[in-house]
Amino acid sequence: MSIQLRLNLAIAALSVIGLLCMIGFILLDAKPRMDVENASTMLLTETLIRSALVPIRESNDPRQGLTRLIAELKHLRHASVSLASQKGEADPTLDDGLERTWFSGGKSLPVAPLKIPVEARGQLLDTIVVTPRPGDEFSELLEAIFRIFQWGTIVSAIMLFLTWLIVNRSLQPVRALRDAMHRMSGGEFDLRVPEVGPPEIKSICGSLNLLAAALQRSQKDNRRLTANMISIQDEERRDIARELHDELGPYLFAMRADASLLRRELEKSEIDRSRSLRLNGQISSHLDLLQQTNRRVLERLTPAGLAELGLSGSLQAMADMWQRHKSGVDLQTSIDERIDDLDDTRKLTIFRVVQEGLTNAFRHSGAKNISVVVSFTNSDQPPSQTAVNISIRDNGKGRADGSEGFGLKAMRERVSAMSGSMAIESQREGGTALSVTLPVVDALASVEACEV
């Protein structure tokens, strides 16, 4: 029996044993894993529902809000959500509110549903019933086993064929390559493969070394980007928390004090009408200020008019707002309306870039002339074959140093995450120029492919 045949038989036997062991381990581990998954799903669903019920209880029509919530949760996997009053219609597969597991050590054990009563204004609206569906998890388990078996068989056959061809001349270099790729798959990108053996193997080793070096650089960049994004998110959350504490707190305290005074005034036998109206007016004034603060915080999180006005309309509305507040500054805009066809992620990125650029220009530059240009690289090409250019220029005092604040860092990280580029330069004639380029080829091509 030749060494090629022996090696192939050994590899085939090991592949089969490994595949069977993997499938067997998955089957043995299925029951506890499914139990943990079901428990986690139930806990997550319960937390989600209880969080969503808070604004529903305080809404004007809690029953309509409850119905909308149930409709939105009907497509959950691993759990069925319905109302007790509509349970028979919503999920006819359930039997008396119980569903039995598919795989529990040869026994069918009942799994009790979770019932969450919903009360609003002292009345019981209905009861939300959450029932686990372990059948979904078991179906995924079977699909995973099938995929493991299928791909394991394909990979084993390829390995047998390649080993049969190259074992005599390239056994040792191939082993080195195999070991290196396995280590790379585990994230060990600092390794280098000795470039020995035939010219073909040397070329492969060199390419693998280049790939490992590129992956190592990408890994470092990803770690740096992740750390910066986490830092930026934390800083933004702290800013929002400070704004809520500093602005909402005094208003709430004043409203509570005025409400207490108003209640005492109304409890008197002889009510001072003028004082009661004054206290009511103060409470209304505080409510208006609270609404303004709330609107400002929401605007920082998500632009309110982006969906209604489109990106081009929202950018123009932002420019008009700045022009009204800073009438002494000449603001010129040129916005290509085709940006409304971009995907949501890029539209939001463009909006944030222009928002931050205008904020810096108006607040810090002291400029009298500001221009905003949003265009495509090649105006004669469709948007899916070009990139978006954003240019914000002013004739202000320029940048005193090269340092970047929180807003610019957040902007740079957002642009970098989308494979874009950003540059900030001081102009010779005075002022600052901000230039951002965002590629849109991949995003719009994928959208157009999906539509076709």
Domains of the chain: 1-170 (3.30.450), 187-301 (no CATH), 308-451 (3.30.565.10)
- Separation of CA 182 from chain center: 31
Looking at residue 170, what is its pLDDT?
52
Helix boundaries (H) for 268-361: 273-301, 306-325, 344-360
Q: Is the dihedral of CA 377, 382, 386, 392 positive or negative?
A: positive
Collapsing DSSP states into helix, strand and coil, what is residue 111?
strand
Helices (H) and strands (E) in the chain, counts: 12, 10
pLDDT at site 444: 45
**Residue 316 CB partners (closer than 8 Å, separation 6+):** 333, 335
User: How many residues does the structure list for the chain?
Assistant: 452
Contacts of 440 (CB under 8 A, 6+ apart): 342, 346, 383, 384, 386, 387, 388
- DSSP class per residue in 305-328: THHHHHHHHHHHHHHHHHHHH-TT
In contact, 282 and 258? CB cutoff 8 Å: yes
Contact status, residue 341 vs residue 382, Cβ threshold 8 Å: no
- Locus of tokens 């270099």: 173
Q: Is 62 exposed, middle or buried (0-12, 13-18, 19+ CB in 10 A)?
A: buried
Q: Are 348 and 389 in contact (CB under 8 A)?
A: no
pLDDT for the residue numbered 379: 58
Q: Output 22-25 pairs: Cβ under 8 A, ≥24 positions apart.
A: 22/148, 22/152, 23/145, 23/148, 23/149
Q: Please name the residue that has the structure tokens 């390419």.
A: 207
Q: What per-residue confidence (pLDDT) applies to 373?
A: 93
Amino acid found at 112: A
The single residue listed with the structure tokens 């700045």 is 322
pTM: 0.41
Separation CA 366–CA 363 (nearest Å): 7
Q: Integer distance in angstroms from the first to the last C-alpha of the chain?
A: 56
Q: Which helix (H) or strand (E) holds 331?
A: strand 330-335
Would you give per-residue pLDDT tens digits along the chain (452 residues)? Answer: 655 567 777 777 887 888 888 878 777 777 777 777 777 878 888 888 888 888 887 788 888 888 888 888 877 777 778 888 775 444 444 443 333 444 444 444 445 678 888 887 777 878 888 887 766 667 777 887 888 888 878 887 887 777 777 666 656 666 677 788 888 888 788 888 888 777 777 888 888 888 888 888 887 877 777 777 777 677 777 777 776 777 777 777 777 887 888 787 787 777 777 877 887 888 888 788 777 777 767 666 666 667 778 888 888 888 888 888 888 888 899 998 888 888 888 888 888 888 888 888 888 777 888 899 999 887 565 555 678 999 998 888 777 666 666 677 778 878 887 888 888 888 777 788 889 998 886 544 444 444 44
What local confidence, expressed as pLDDT, does residue 436 receive? 92
